[in-house]
Amino acid sequence: MSTDITQLKHSFEDKSAKIGVIGLGYVGLPLCLTLADRGFATTGFDIDESKIELLSQGGSYISHIEDANIKKHVDNGRLTATCDFSQITEMNAILICVPTPLTSKREPDLSFVISTAKTIFPYLRKGQLIVLESTTYPGTCREVLCPVFENGGMKSGQDFYLAYSPEREDPGNPDFGTASIPKVVGGDGENAKNLALALYDQIVVKTVPVSSTEVAEAVKLTENIFRSVNIALVNELKVIYDKMGIDVWEVIEAAKTKPFGYMPFYPGPGLGGHCIPIDPFYLTYRAGLFDLETRFIELAGEINTRMPAHVVDVLVQELQQRFEKDIKDATILLIGLAYKKNVNDTRESPAFALIELMEAKGTKVDYYDPYVPEILPTREHTALAGRHSIEWTGAKLNDYDAALICTDHDGIDYDELVANSQLVIDTRNATNNVSKGKEKVAKA
């Protein structure tokens, strides 16, 4: 091992290294805070000036991250935030945590990764570790990032060190945060892998080295494909069992008592979040380049994508059967806009599809979400931007023909919801323990 590599490795081990994190969203900001918690001087980079200003004042824009956790590291000097990418030169390690969405044709959109690489390229210097954490298909580090970084004559594994370590964040999970989740690490060569391990060994409970960046890239896709396929399975079972008069939630609760050979997954109104609805199709794209099909992945995607329409169909039937009311004449309250409970993250939330499907039928739709007071602009649902959550009161709940539970936030009083609603469409089994009025509830 050369002297330069040894010195860089030691700077990670003694925490004298300066670490830059690019992209200060649901992955990058927790990573910054974990690095700062472990004693690293950490600089967060983002193009969103409003985020930089808020962070610099010690404020948080993510619901499950408290202001105090940011402020203490701003005050002690371990955390700074900037839009000035020229500071990349000062960093010993650069961790890239930018979005990797899909295009309108459901193909990988690596524009954020590529633009980030091009933005930091002029400020790179020899002897830096660069790690991509964004979810992507196998081959991205070698085939997409390396050519950008080597354009000026530097060589991966010789002048800079490129690694891949997929993020495993679960926003709002009280049991697992960045530091307590094992980290898979693959490098473009042994030196890159060992340097990345030296860094992540200081901040996470366990590192899991793999033989290449391609293997590490495939690990993250495999994790989320597993979830997507199994969620699609229980979504399909839900539709089948409903027709048979069987409660799928009761089935799952009983099945999970088996101590081996079964893992519970739960149905819902559709998939949300930045990972499960998107990541599997990165492998579909990559497999297509090898003339291979991904039949399970695509079928799971079809089933999960159909769930919002199934939920609306149940709503239409219940309104007609119970009240002889046409949905075009109904007023509906959607409960929960976030893609999962107890967070303000609305990325890919099925709530948007539900609202659009109902409004396409002429329905008036309001929403309530204590974590999402206003719908912010998105690329796919621009017409919904600017709408606000209603104020929660029993009297207000009475104004609606039905409440549709999309997200089962813990802080919602489901007894009050059922008591003050004419009809509740429950996609999350949130009303399972209400004491009165269960005859008003329809599972969907």
Distance of CA 55 to the CA centre of its chain: 21
CA 342 to CA 173: how far, in whole Å?
A: 9
Catalytic residues: 275
Q: Quick check: 349 and 384 in contact, CB under 8 A?
A: no
Sheet holding 364-368, edge to edge: 364-368, 331-335, 402-405, 424-426, 441-443
CA 51 to CA 14: how far, in whole Å?
A: 30
CA 349 to CA 272: how far, in whole Å?
A: 4
Q: Which of 15, 48, 395, 418 is nearest to 199 (CA)?
A: 15
Q: Which amino acid would we find at residue 79?
A: L
Q: Which of 427, 444, 432 is nearest to 314 (CA)?
A: 444
Helical segments of 85-212, H only: 111-120, 140, 146-149, 190-200
CA 362 to CA 358: how far, in whole Å?
A: 7
What is the torsional sign of CA 343, 349, 351, 356?
A: positive
CA 402 to CA 194: how far, in whole Å?
A: 57
CA 235 to CA 409: how far, in whole Å?
A: 20
CA 296 to CA 17: how far, in whole Å?
A: 44
Here the tokens at position 139 are: 């081959």
Here the tokens at position 121 are: 């390229």
Q: Quick check: 427 and 311 in contact, CB under 8 A?
A: yes
